Structure 1
Amino acid sequence: MAVNTINSNQLIPGAYVTLIQKDSYPDGNANEQSSVTSAVYSSVTLMQQGVIGIIGDISSSWTSLSALMSSTLQIPQCSFASKTIALSDKTQYKYFFRSIPTQVIFADVMLSFAALQGWSKIGIIYSDSTLGQQFFQRAIIQAGNQGLEIAESHSFDPAIDLDDMTYALQNVTQGRTRVIIVAATDTTQTSLMVHAASMGYMTNEYTWLLLGVSDNLLQQSVQQYNQNHTNLPPLDYNTTFNGLFMFDDWLSLKGYGPFDSFLQQWSSLNPQTLAYSCMMVMATGFKQALSTEKDPVFGLKQLASGELGETMLPPAFNVGYVGPNGPMIYDSNGDLSIG
């Protein structure tokens, strides 16, 4: 759909875009090593065909492999599915950007929510990881913009025993803080919340803002805790975990004419076709880069031969495009700055 739109509207004047597809997904019986080999082989095959841009991959781990190669060859690469913070490292993934926000951006939403509730003092507990550290740094900036005070904060290392979690929870809750943001994901976050409950911090006195936690995962963690601590009073999920706000990403603009029209066309496609925004942003970035060339024909030849070099870094794709994933506005790391 994106390629048809680009070519029919002559989005890149004088150019005809061809989409080369290569499946990096391994066979059902493949082991981990052969899966990696398959992903690398797919990426190398694409690059050998002289592509000027890459879209994908579906997995963060596979994307990190292809993005290392594409950045070495100065080929821009856009992912529509890879959220891992590691891909923000421009020393390794210089030409990589994405059409999906990282979880760091949730700091903006959580703090905006807190401000709307009139909560002026916030506590933050964050995992000692790239995600946790970047989230905390962004939260410091955004708290100032929202007129909020981060009264207490503490990191914890999930690899260390429960004492580290205990210390973090005690430090953040011992002062004036009763509204607490947790910057951790998956089992790291649920382990912290179950431990908080066991310490008596899951009462009406506290409000917790969590990052995309699953109800099922939290319930499983509670069940596991009760099985492992039969000598202690059991935790009841329904009555204990009632002060939680869980934030996740979701977008729908139904009722807005252009979006409804787009959905009509989208519904006729394979529902797994998720790369539309990547394709459109990349094409618009190419168009913008060519518009600065004095000789359009020479510029097209440079584009086709992959000789535009550092003009194709992530800032080149800050073109003001708004697609089904919302506005594509990037920071210097190629990450969405709003979402």
Structure 2
Amino acid sequence: MNHQAIDDIDTNIHNIGSISHFTDEVTGYEFSVFRYNGSTFISPRSPPPQRVELKIGILAPFHQKNDNYTRQLTLSGTSAVRMAAAEINVQEIIPGAYITLIEKDSFPKQTEGQGAITEAVVAAVSLVQQGVIGVIGDISSSWTSLSALITSTLQIPQCSYTAVAASLSDRSQYGHFFRTSQTSQLSADAALSFVTSRGWPVIGMIYSDDDFGKQLSQYIIMNAKTQGVHIQTYQSFYDDTTSISQVAKDIDEFLSSGVRIILVAAQGDAQTTALTVAAHRGYMDENHVWLIPGPLQDLQNAITRFNDILYRRSQGEQLSEATHVGQQDVSQKTLDSNKTVSSLGWVTPLDYLAWTTIDTSPISYDDAFSGGIFSFRKGMDLSGYPPYDQFLEKWSRLDPAL
């Protein structure tokens, strides 16, 4: 389907554009595209008499062309929505009603900064004023948060297929917001359900002091209580302003609390650092259970790198200016800068621990991680599920000219 229909270049001084008529050969659906005042209306060419019109808004950055991935999400998602609307109307899936889609651009042309935020809000309000009973969108989490506040306040359901921010799960603010995209909260729910099923009433949590860790930990804290799970202690680590030498100390402090069931709300380097430090300190044993609400990331490579530094130390290699390095923060800018000037590659907190620890015993990956660690990963592939396969087959046959 022609997504350039959102453009209003050919509208007249009254902001009214031409009406175009199309036929979707896949479904036999005849529909009209009409542009007015920055919105694009897509409805049956000949609306069935005595059937109620249901208006569904689509909010997306149609004019955004700087990010190809965002544009791909916008166009592919919108085409799927149009396909669904066509099937609903052709097959009369909603008795006594038909769907009209109203597309609105949340990223107007030649607008940046605060003005762009204002326009995004205006776009959402415009859909509401046009009488939509539901909204699909937006693409980014930040833009979705703006529109979802408006729709939830007005009790209009909104669904995004890409927004993943943990804050959008706050039902007190986004009571009418839903999403089909898989988020880290799903993994957290699975981890908490697992804890409950095992009869473990008390857990501890360590989380990275970044947007991911903060949002996920807040979600876990809110939902643990509803599942009868008490979080005995929780602690942040790996803040951008934390010194490289302090990261392992923060993990040590958390582990010394005596907690036995540990949930790690972190990803990337922060996650591998926490697990490697725990293994080095002897907390990967039969007395501890580790829960990871997500995939394990490069853990074996991290252990190999850690052990390699210990070996280099045994061969007489030392870390120069260790005190100076340890006082630097763990921001990505600092780490990248240190990597540029260092041939040792010792700039990460985990590397620093390997260069300075008194205990130089290498970590046995097979022994340390043979049991007691559970990773709850999201399933992304629905191939083999008949409705999903049928959807993909129909989606692939869409006429790109429509």
| 1:242 is the counterpart of 2:322 | no
| Partners of 1:115 and 1:90 in 2: CA distance | 23
What letter corresponds to residue 242 of structure 1 in structure 2? F
| 1:125 is the counterpart of 2:205 | yes
Normalised TM-score (structure 1)? 0.57
| 1:225 is the counterpart of 2:315 | no
What letter corresponds to residue 265 of structure 1 in structure 2? K
TM superposition shift of 1:212: 1.5
**Alignment RMSD, CA only?**
4.3
TM superposition shift of 1:58: 1.9
TM superposition shift of 1:34: 6.2
What letter corresponds to residue 77 of structure 1 in structure 2? Q
2:166 paired residue among 62, 68, 85: 85
| Partners of 1:241 and 1:130 in 2: CA distance | 29
CA gap of 1:63–1:219, structure 2 versus 1, over 3 A, is farther
| Partners of 1:256 and 1:213 in 2: CA distance | 23
Q: 2:264, 2:271 within 8 Å by CA — same for their partners in 1?
A: yes
Q: SS at 2:149's partner residue?
A: helix
TM superposition shift of 1:43: 2.9
CA gap of 1:132–1:226, structure 2 versus 1, over 3 A, is closer
Which runs of 5 or more residues in structure 2 are unaligned?
1-82, 208-212, 307-345
Q: State the identity as a percent.
A: 38
Q: What is the number of residues matched between the two proteins?
A: 258
2:87 corresponding residue in structure 1: 5
| Partners of 1:203 and 1:52 in 2: CA distance | 54
Q: SS at 1:17's partner residue?
A: strand
What letter corresponds to residue 154 of structure 1 in structure 2? T
| Partners of 2:363 and 2:142 in 1: CA distance | 37
1:211 paired residue among 293, 297, 303: 293
What letter corresponds to residue 215 of structure 1 in structure 2? Q
| 1:199 is the counterpart of 2:281 | yes
Normalised TM-score (structure 2)? 0.50
Q: SS at 1:18's partner residue?
A: strand
| Partners of 1:54 and 1:218 in 2: CA distance | 44
| Partners of 1:217 and 1:56 in 2: CA distance | 36
Q: 1:154, 1:172 within 8 Å by CA — same for their partners in 2?
A: no
Q: SS at 2:93's partner residue?
A: coil
TM superposition shift of 1:114: 6.8
CA deviations over 1:237-287 (Å, ceiling 9, x no partner)? 9668735443221144544444433332244459xxxxxxxxxxxxxxxxx
CA deviations over 1:213-249 (Å, ceiling 9, x no partner)? 4525995797723543433359779668735443221
Q: 1:104, 1:131 within 8 Å by CA — same for their partners in 2?
A: yes
What letter corresponds to residue 253 of structure 2 in structure 1? Y
1:169 paired residue among 242, 255, 260: 255
TM superposition shift of 1:50: 3.6
CA deviations over 1:35-55 (Å, ceiling 9, x no partner)? 645643543443454433211
What letter corresponds to residue 155 of structure 1 in structure 2? Y
TM superposition shift of 1:5: 2.0
TM superposition shift of 1:125: 1.7
